[in-house]
Amino acid sequence: MKRIGILTSGGDAPGMNAAIRAVTRKAIYEGMEVYGINYGFAGLVAGDIRRLDLADVGDKIQRGGTFLYSARYPEFATQEGQLKGIEQLKKFGIEGLVVIGGDGSYHGAMALTKHGYPAVGIPGTIDNDIPGTDYTIGFDTAINTVLDALDRIRDTATSHVRTFVIEVMGRGAGDIALWAGVAGGADDIIIPEHDFDMKEVAERIQQGRDRGKKHCLIVLAEGVMGGNEFAAKLAEYGDFHTRVSILGHIVRGGSPSARDRVLASKFGGYAVDLLKENKGGLCIGIENEQIVARDIIDMLENYKHKPDLSLYQLNRELSV
Ligand code: F6P
């Protein structure tokens, strides 16, 4: 291939810019041309497309968000939207497309693949919920942002001998809560992938109190329920001076961590290697520290991301 396109879609994630930079710089290094598509699949259908040069991706590696902008665009789930998108790609002479995003974006890339258009997916979402990779771009930065919040909340929780319910993003996945919770020494972690019993949560808080613990931090994944609802249910089992903190979109912004920048650079470079050899219909990932490419249709139709539940058990043992 000589001319490729790139877009970011769905919820933005720190490190997306580093991935766009890597794709652009590597492609130009290989003698190819790169076209950036603004606003994800919405911009693709609208033809909001421009050529990217070396300088366009300068001073971007350290920035959060995505300078190509992003959008949620359910219309791309329709055949009509997909064919319009392919028409635009052909109009610009773009022979293959790099799609950076999460689950919805991968489904867009899969649809293009099913129409015979070569697309390569790069996993970019804070949720870490994509099959075919151990880690997604943005996850490491997100858990470090949550960790920073937990350390701060612990200070005030201790001062007032309070229980805090900290609600974190993650959609249907508990990875952010799990990893940040373990790193932050959370007293309990509540995730969609593991049952919990509110009575037992209350008993653990009381046990901590009885042995003189001054703080209690419960990290709650949004996929279970909202923080306020959780606190109201907990109150039925006792008064733990509970406060709720909903971290929300704060967790999605900020400068990407070194790990996310390196991951994004590796993924971007590899995406170009694949398209240069006319290989599409793939999604890139990292498995056991090795960069891999898997069939995107097989991944989405037959696999589901699973969190590392050994961390859940470990946290129960460590947070007594
Ligand atoms: O998928 C990323 C994510 O931040 C989820 O964690 C969250 O549930 C969702 O996006 C929020 O979406 P929006 O920014 O469209 O409200």
pLDDT digits (tens, 9 = 90+) for 25-54: 999 999 999 999 999 999 999 999 999 999
Q: What is the pLDDT of residue 107?
A: 97
Query: Quick one: 67 and 108 in the same domain?
Result: yes
**Pocket perturbation via mutation, ligand 1, pick of 171, 178, 191, 250 by most ligand atoms within 8 A of CB:** 171
Where does the pLDDT of residue 240 fall: very low under 50, low under 70, confident under 90, or very high at 90 and above?
Answer: very high
Where does the pLDDT of residue 155 fall: very low under 50, low under 70, confident under 90, or very high at 90 and above?
Answer: very high
Q: What is the pLDDT of residue 135?
A: 98
Q: What CATH number is given to the structural domain containing 117?
A: 3.40.50.450
Does 320 score more than 90 pLDDT?
A: no
Q: What is the pLDDT of residue 133?
A: 98
- Euclidean distance between CA atoms 54 and 27, whole angstroms: 10
Output the CA 37–ligand 1 centroid distance in Å. Answer: 21
Q: Quick one: which of 66, 65, 73, 69 has its CA closest to 108?
A: 73
Between vectors from CA 301 to CA 41 and to CA 44, what angle results, nearest 5°?
10
Q: Are 227 and 167 in contact (CB under 8 A)?
A: yes
Q: What is the pTM of this model?
A: 0.98
DSSP 237: T
- Euclidean distance between CA atoms 22 and 268, whole angstroms: 5
Q: What are the tens digits of pLDDT across the range 182-232?
A: 999 999 999 999 999 999 999 999 999 999 999 999 999 999 999 999 999
Query: Quick one: 14 and 119 in the same domain?
Result: yes
Query: Quick one: 171 and 215 in the same domain?
Result: yes
Query: Quick one: 120 and 260 in the same domain?
Result: yes
- pLDDT over 70 for what percent of the chain? 100
Hey, what are 294's tokens?
């898997």
Between vectors from CA 307 to CA 306 and to CA 308, what angle results, nearest 5°?
120
Region 259-278: mean pLDDT is: 98
Structural domain harbouring 229: 142-252
- pLDDT over 90 for what percent of the chain? 100
Region 236-256: mean pLDDT is: 98
DSSP 210: H
Query: Quick one: 7 and 123 in the same domain?
Result: yes
Q: Quick one: which of 86, 139, 105, 97 has its CA closest to 256?
A: 139
* 65 touches ligand 1 (CB under 6 Å): no
Query: Quick one: 133 and 261 in the same domain?
Result: yes
Query: Quick one: 180 and 272 in the same domain?
Result: no
Find out whether 265 is annotated in a ligand binding site.
no
Output the CA 116–ligand 1 centroid distance in Å. Answer: 30
Query: Quick one: 11 and 113 in the same domain?
Result: yes
Q: What is the pLDDT of residue 191?
A: 98
Q: What is the pLDDT of residue 64?
A: 98
Average pLDDT of the residues of the chain: 98
Hey, what are 99's tokens?
């799609």
Find out whether 25 is annotated in a ligand binding site.
yes
Q: What is the pLDDT of residue 139?
A: 99
Between vectors from CA 282 to CA 281 and to CA 285, what angle results, nearest 5°?
165
Find out whether 104 is annotated in a ligand binding site.
yes
Query: Quick one: 125 and 274 in the same domain?
Result: yes
Query: Quick one: 131 and 261 in the same domain?
Result: yes
* 102 touches ligand 1 (CB under 6 Å): yes
Q: What are the tens digits of pLDDT across the range 273-284?
A: 999 999 999 999
Output the CA 272–ligand 1 centroid distance in Å. Answer: 28
- In ligand 1, the atom with minimum distance to the C-alpha of 11 is 2
Residue 83 lies in a domain: yes
Which residues, in sequence order, are CB contacts of 87 under 8 Å at separation 6+? none
Query: Quick one: 130 and 273 in the same domain?
Result: yes
Catalytic site residues? 127
* 251 touches ligand 1 (CB under 6 Å): no
Which residues, in sequence order, are CB contacts of 183 under 8 Å at separation 6+? 143, 147, 150
The count of other CB atoms within 10 Å of the CB of residue 115 is 12
Residue 248 lies in a domain: yes
Q: What are the tens digits of pLDDT across the range 78-109?
A: 999 999 999 999 999 999 999 999 999 999 99
Q: What CATH number is given to the structural domain containing 227?
A: 3.40.50.460
Amino acid at 290: Q
Helix, strand or coil, per DSSP, at residue 195: coil
Query: Quick one: 268 and 128 in the same domain?
Result: yes
How many domains does the structure of the chain reveal?
2
Output the CA 260–ligand 1 centroid distance in Å. Answer: 19
